[in-house]
């Protein structure tokens, strides 16, 4: 009879290629990993959460305007404890003499001296991030090294460096925990180095390729590696277990090929739910979700690729040691737990219903906060401790920036004057209320008198300007005439030059640029140079060609309803004087918190709906049942509600980012635990009773769930215990607690739901008809499976035996084997 060459399963072909070309893959990975080591340094990290606010928010627009139009000089608040006022006052000149320090504010009021504590408000000559400001702060600390000093402010407070050090510590401890867990849950000791090398390669590849995004957030940069371990460790464990199972009957090469061909589909399916939850996070209005989602999805993909292409080669490389290092089973059987569940399951359901109802209610009352300053971490940084000490003695500062159109000095003055009438305002600063004055010559008694003082935006006549600048009146008139000509205001020259009023700031800057019109002595030039430097610095901070910035210090907390309501009052005052259609922006920590809270209210609902929807779609086709996805979602959504009801019940504020990130991870990743239970139960109930299937399922699934869950929960707990960053702390607390809750519900409540809902599952299941494939074989063939078609005549039956003839049929094959020349070769159709 004519023989036709059998075609191999595509997964088998791919697996065979990967295993046989393992040395090539080793070489590719060596090159890729070396590249990643260098590429890690190319990744730019953004440490500001406000940079991820939607472009439409007032804070985001205002910050962009300030970055482009103004210079914000670095500032520090430095407190010296246990000091007398004379000692504190004597230090002012020494601090001002430090290179890089522009000015020091200190006086005998309670704003700067209280009890035995002195507070210096220091402004540097450069921006907060500059080396000049950092060096100046270090020099001040050296100068004050004999005193009890506390420092607060952005200068010298590099969160990224501290966070990187903390994450390295966390990662080291997590690796130790992973090794301990794997020693307990693995089947052979030699699996552990294979798993560690697989994890390490995946993490390094993900870190090294983050540069393709241009810039990532400090959240993504810090927690992604740890989350990658927790989210995708299952993939490597599945591959290891598959290899061990196949190795019992096959040689290493064949076992690895078979294990990989089966694991590719299983792992790919498992990853879909995880990526579904992360994908939902990318739809957040607050763009930190998009940033974290894309980095984590890439991490999951790299984890799969490494498991599929590197791990088979490592298993082959370590196969001899894997065979020799088998150890006894350390994880005990939990058949007893399953028996308890099958007896008390009617009681568990009412308890669960009550728990999720109250969980839903309390989680909606969760005390979310949007300022990192309102979160106390378990481990506090030295900078946070010092800042808290200053706040306890001198209170906090809440400075807002009001940005309005430039060139309307009268409107600016009116806004500042009106705002200062409110009790909520401590003080305001703007060009219109900055005072300028110069000392006159000493009188006969040796005392010094001051000339009249003016605000920077006051309109001065030539005589007033001459008195202020210590200039001859005729010199002043010459400059005013030149200014009138330059601005094409010729009428003032002809009619009444002495009555010509010009804003002081505009006139002085013009005069300084045209000193060649007048003759001044060196003392006058020196005075003008000093004043010019001050005015330029003030203008750089407060005025540009298009915008003017005013600073408003509030006597209000950074984040509460009263503060948010007063922000509206500030806007109304500005619109009253500038008009409803004027470009007006209010920027500060309070507006940032308000915008974050507004964005959160939208993202909260969207994340819940999308993550559940995406996961349901994946589960729908995984289980081919409408009921099963709903039952699994109920369990995981219940765990989410219970998780986020804890902050309300304990009265502990929760940083909003913890909810947005962890709820997505719980829905996308923790649901894998439920899937493990559901899959095994679905298979086992075909062979045994429902209760027996539940008991066996829990026993078989426990090692997988405890391994993955313990690692993810441990990672979360360690993050919470070690990090000093409030945003990262919130993620760690919620992740650790949420994972533990999910494991408990999956091991206790889900089995009860499956027992009670079995009839629903049966009635809501459906079959998807895939295109049927006709197999053509000639010769002596062993068939084990259902055959529909022609075998020298039409057949539709379960056949377990040998067919001698031509087969041209649709075969649902368990096994089909040629028995002629290729008797030992199987074709896995």
Q: What are phi and psi for residue 150, nearest 5 degrees? A: -125, 140
Domain-located, residue 647:
yes
Min mean pLDDT across 146-150, 411-415, 470-474, 711-715 is at 470-474
* Token representation of residue 362: 């309390």
The rounded distance, in Å, linking the Cα atoms of 297 and 275 is 6
Average pLDDT score over residue span 230-244: 84
181 with 308, same domain?
Answer: yes
What is the CATH classification number for the domain harbouring 153?
Answer: 3.30.70.100
pLDDT score, position 535 = 79
More confident residue, 795 or 284: 284
Residue range 477-488: mean pLDDT, rounded: 87
Torsion of CA 741, 743, 747, 750, to 10 degrees: 70
Q: Is residue 825 part of a domain?
A: no
Give the model confidence (pLDDT) of 285-303 as tens digits: 888 889 999 999 999 999 9
How far from 486 is each of 344, 477, 481, 483, 643, CA to CA, in Å?
93, 14, 9, 5, 69
Residue 52 within a domain: no
pLDDT grade, residue 353 (50/70/90)?
very high
Mean pLDDT of 197-211: 94
**If pLDDT is split at 50, 70 and 90, which confidence band does 625 have?**
confident
- Low-confidence winner among 728-732, 746-750, 759-763 (lowest mean pLDDT): 759-763
Q: Are 804 and 755 within one domain?
A: no
Q: What is the pLDDT of residues 32-63, one digit of tens each?
A: 999 999 999 899 988 888 888 888 888 999 99
Q: C-alpha distances in angstroms, 278 versus 272, 274, 281, 295, 440?
A: 10, 7, 5, 10, 69
Q: Are 231 and 300 in contact (CB under 8 A)?
A: yes
Q: How confident is the model at residue 2 (pLDDT cuts 50, 70, 90)?
A: very low
Q: Look at residues 215, 371, 364, 349 and name the one whose alpha carbon lies nearest to residue 295.
A: 215
Residues 124 and 136: beta-carbon distance below 8 Å: yes
Residues 6+ apart with CB under 8 A from 800: 783, 784
Which of 151, 99, 157, 162 is CA-nearest to residue 121? 151
The mean per-residue pLDDT over the stretch 574-603 comes to: 90
Average pLDDT over residues 751-767: 83
Confidence of residue 246 (pLDDT cuts 50, 70, 90): confident
Separation CA 128–CA 139 (nearest Å): 15
Q: Is the CB of residue 412 less than 8 Å from the CB of residue 404?
A: yes
**148 strand-pairing partners:** 81
Bridge partners (DSSP) of residue 808 are 776, 790
Residue reference for tokens 């910035």? 549
CB 509 within 8 A of CB 535: yes
2 within domain boundaries: no
Tens-place pLDDT, residues 64-96: 999 999 988 899 999 999 999 999 999 999 999
Would you say residue 645 lies in a domain? Answer: yes
Beta strands in 631-673 (DSSP E): 654-655
Rounded to an integer, what distance in angstroms lies between the CA atom of residue 680 and that of residue 696?
9
Model confidence over 310-339: pLDDT tens digits? 999 999 999 999 888 887 777 888 999 999
**Is 674 or 572 the better-scoring residue by pLDDT?**
572
What are the pLDDT digits (tens) for 697-722?
A: 999 888 888 888 888 898 899 999 99
Of the pLDDT bands very low, low, confident and very high (cuts 50, 70, 90), residue 6 is very low
Pick from 255, 381, 238, 385: nearest CA to 316: 255
Question: 547-554 and 780-791 as β-strands: parallel, antiparallel, unpaired?
Answer: unpaired
Measured CA to CA, the distance from residue 207 to residue 230 in angstroms comes to 16
Tokens 């890089």 locate to 100
Give the pLDDT confidence score for residue 447 in this predicted structure.
43
Whether 55 is covered by a domain: the verdict is no
Q: What percent of the chain has pLDDT over 90?
A: 40
pLDDT above 80 (res 193): yes
Q: For the segment 12-33, what is each residue's pLDDT rounded down to a tens digit?
A: 899 999 999 999 999 999 999 9
Task: Say what the pLDDT of residue 303 is.
Answer: 93
Average pLDDT over residues 677-683: 86
Confidence of residue 446 (pLDDT cuts 50, 70, 90): very low
Task: For tokens 């408990």, name the residue.
Answer: 744
Q: Are 279 and 426 contained in the same domain?
A: no
**Signed CA dihedral, 339, 343, 349, 354: sign only:** negative
Domain span at residue 569 reads 385-431+549-587
Q: What is the pLDDT of residue 509?
A: 84
**Residue 444 and residue 504 in one domain:** yes
pLDDT at 787 over 70: no
Per-residue model confidence (pLDDT) at position 448 = 43
Q: What is the pLDDT of residues 509-552, one digit of tens each?
A: 888 887 776 676 777 777 777 777 777 877 888 888 899 999 99
How far lies 391's CA from each of 374, 515, 655, 723, 818, in Å?
Answer: 13, 48, 21, 22, 83
| pLDDT at residue 396, rounded to an integer | 84
- Enumerate residues 6+ apart whose C-beta is below 8 A from 320: none
Name the more confident of 269 and 131: 131
758 and 647 assigned to the same domain: yes
What pLDDT is attached to residue 807?
60
Q: How confident is the model at residue 769, as a pLDDT?
A: 55
- Give the separation between CA 428 and CA 416, rounded to whole angstroms: 6
pLDDT above 70 for 228: yes
485 and 422 inside one domain:
no
Decide the pairing of beta strands 215-217 and 44-46.
parallel
Which of 675, 645, 679, 676 lies closest to 659, judged by CA?
A: 645
Residue 267 has pLDDT above 70, yes or no: yes
d(CA 202, CA 196): 10
CATH number for the domain spanning 201: value is 1.20.1640.10
Same domain, 166 and 268: yes
The pLDDT value recorded for residue 212 is: 93
**DSSP secondary structure letters along 679-693:** HHHHHHTTTS-HHHH
State the pLDDT at residue 445: 45
Q: Which two tokens mark 206?
A: 């993900």
Question: How far is Cα 692 from Cα 126, in angstroms, rounded to an integer?
Answer: 73
79 and 141 fall within a common domain: yes
In the chain, pLDDT over 70 holds for what percent of residues? 89
Task: Give Cα 176 distance to the centre of its chain.
Answer: 25
Rounded Cα distance between 569 and 726, Å, is 30
59 CB contacts (<8 Å, ≥6 apart)? 50, 53, 587, 591, 592, 594, 595
- Do 147 and 172 fall within a single domain? no
pLDDT tens digits, 374-397: 888 898 888 889 998 999 999 888
**Angle, helix 690-722 to helix 218-247, in steps of 10 degrees:** 140
The CATH number of residue 563's host domain is 3.30.70
Are 346 and 423 in a shared domain? no
Residue pair 722/756 in contact by the 8 Å Cβ criterion: no
In a domain? residue 731: yes
Q: Please answer whether residues 75 and 155 qualify as being in contact, where contact means their C-beta atoms are separated by less than 8 angstroms.
A: yes
- Asked if residue 499 and residue 417 are part of one domain, the reply reads no
DSSP state of 814: E
Is 141 a residue whose pLDDT tops 80? yes
Predicted local distance difference test score (pLDDT) of residue 774: 52
* Average pLDDT taken over every residue of the chain: 85
Residue 663: per-residue pLDDT: 86
> What pLDDT shows up at residue 803?
61
Residue 54 within any structural domain of the chain = no
Backbone dihedral angles phi then psi of residue 450, each to the nearest 5 degrees: -100, 140
Note whether 805 and 682 are same-domain residues: no
Q: Rounded to an integer, what distance in angstroms lies between the CA atom of residue 499 and that of residue 242?
A: 95
pLDDT tens, 539-548?
A: 888 888 899 9
Number of domains in the chain: 6
The residue among 299, 296, 301, 304 whose CA lies nearest residue 279 is: 296
């Amino acid at each position: 009879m004519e023989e036709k060459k059998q075609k191999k399963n595509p997964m088998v072909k791919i697996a065979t290629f990967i295993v046989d070309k393992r040395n090539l893959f080793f070489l590719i990975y060596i090159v890729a990993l070396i590249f990643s080591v260098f590429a890690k340094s190319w990744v730019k990290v953004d440490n500001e959460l406000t940079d991820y606010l939607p472009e439409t928010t007032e804070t985001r627009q205002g910050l962009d305007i300030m970055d482009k139009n103004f210079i914000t000089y670095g500032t520090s608040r430095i407190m010296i404890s246990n000091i007398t006022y004379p000692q504190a006052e004597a230090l002012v000149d020494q601090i001002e003499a430090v290179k890089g320090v522009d000015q020091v504010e200190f006086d005998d009021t309670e704003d700067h001296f209280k009890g035995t504590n002195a507070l210096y408000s220091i402004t540097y000559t450069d921006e907060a991030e500059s080396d000049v400001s950092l060096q100046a702060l270090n020099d001040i600390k050296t100068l004050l090294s004999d005193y009890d000093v506390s420092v607060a402010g952005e200068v010298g407070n590099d969160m990224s460096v501290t966070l990187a050090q903390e994450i390295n510590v966390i990662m080291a401890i997590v690796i130790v925990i992973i090794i301990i867990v794997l020693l307990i849950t693995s089947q052979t000791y030699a699996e552990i180095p294979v798993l560690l090398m697989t994890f390490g390669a995946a993490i390094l590849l993900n870190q090294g390729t983050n540069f393709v995004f241009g810039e990532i957030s400090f959240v993504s940069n810090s927690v992604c590696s740890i989350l990658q371990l927790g989210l995708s460790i299952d993939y490597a464990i599945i591959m290891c277990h598959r290899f061990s199972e196949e190795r019992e009957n096959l040689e290493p090469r064949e076992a690895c090929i078979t294990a990989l061909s089966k694991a590719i589909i299983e792992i790919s399916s498992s990853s879909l739910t995880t990526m579904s939850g992360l994908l939902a996070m990318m739809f957040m209005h607050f763009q930190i979700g998009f940033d974290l989602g894309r980095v984590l999805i890439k991490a999951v993909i790299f984890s799969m690729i490494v498991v599929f292409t590197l791990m088979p080669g490592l298993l082959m490389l370590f196969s001899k040691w894997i065979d020799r290092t088998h150890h006894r089973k350390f994880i005990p059987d939990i058949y007893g737990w399953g028996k308890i569940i099958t007896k008390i399951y009617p009681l568990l359901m009412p308890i669960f219903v009550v728990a999720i109802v109250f969980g839903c209610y309390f989680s909606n009352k969760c005390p979310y906060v949007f300022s990192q300053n309102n979160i106390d971490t378990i481990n506090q940084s030295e900078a946070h401790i010092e800042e808290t000490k200053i706040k306890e003695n001198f209170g906090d500062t809440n400075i807002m920036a009001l940005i309005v159109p430039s060139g309307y000095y009268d409107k600016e003055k009116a806004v500042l004057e009106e705002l200062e009438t409110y009790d909520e305002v401590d003080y305001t600063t703007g060009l219109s209320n900055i005072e300028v004055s110069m000392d006159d010559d000493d009188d006969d008694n040796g005392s010094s008198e001051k000339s009249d003082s003016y605000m920077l935006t006051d309109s001065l006549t030539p005589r007033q300007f001459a008195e202020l600048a210590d200039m001859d009146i005729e010199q002043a008139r010459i400059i005013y005439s030149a200014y009138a000509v330059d601005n094409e205001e010729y009428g003032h020259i002809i009619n009444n030059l002495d009555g010509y009023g010009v804003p002081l700031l505009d006139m002085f800057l013009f005069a300084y640029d045209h000193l060649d019109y007048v003759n001044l002595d060196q003392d006058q030039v020196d005075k003008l140079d000093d004043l010019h430097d001050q005015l330029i610095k003030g203008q750089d901070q407060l005025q540009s060609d298009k915008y003017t910035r005013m600073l408003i210090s509030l006597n209000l907390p950074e984040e509460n309803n009263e503060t948010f309501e007063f922000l509206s009052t500030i806007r109304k005052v500005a619109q009253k004087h500038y008009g409803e259609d004027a470009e007006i922006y209010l920027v500060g920590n309070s507006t940032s918190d308000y915008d974050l809270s507004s964005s959160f209210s939208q993202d909260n609902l969207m994340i819940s709906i999308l993550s559940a929807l995406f996961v349901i779609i994946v589960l729908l086709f995984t289980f081919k049942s409408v009921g099963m996805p709903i039952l699994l979602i109920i369990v995981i959504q219940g765990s989410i509600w219970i998780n986020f009801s804890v902050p309300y019940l304990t009265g502990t504020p929760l940083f909003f980012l913890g909810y947005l990130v962890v709820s997505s991870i719980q829905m996308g990743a923790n649901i894998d635990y439920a899937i493990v239970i559901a899959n095994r139960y679905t298979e086992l109930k075909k062979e045994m009773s429902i209760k027996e299937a539940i008991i066996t399922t829990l026993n078989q699934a426990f090692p997988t769930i405890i391994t993955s869950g313990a690692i993810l929960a441990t990672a979360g707990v360690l993050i919470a215990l070690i990090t000093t960053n409030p945003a990262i702390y919130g993620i760690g607390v919620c992740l650790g607690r949420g994972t533990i809750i999910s494991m408990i519900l999956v091991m206790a409540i889900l089995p009860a739901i499956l027992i009670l809902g079995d009839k629903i599952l049966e009635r809501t299941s459906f079959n998807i008809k895939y295109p049927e494939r006709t197999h053509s074989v000639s010769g002596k063939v062993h068939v084990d499976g259902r055959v529909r078609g022609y075998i020298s005549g039409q057949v539709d039956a379960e056949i377990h035996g040998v067919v001698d003839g031509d087969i041209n049929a649709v075969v649902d094959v368990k096994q089909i084997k040629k028995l002629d020349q290729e008797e030992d070769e199987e074709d896995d159709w």
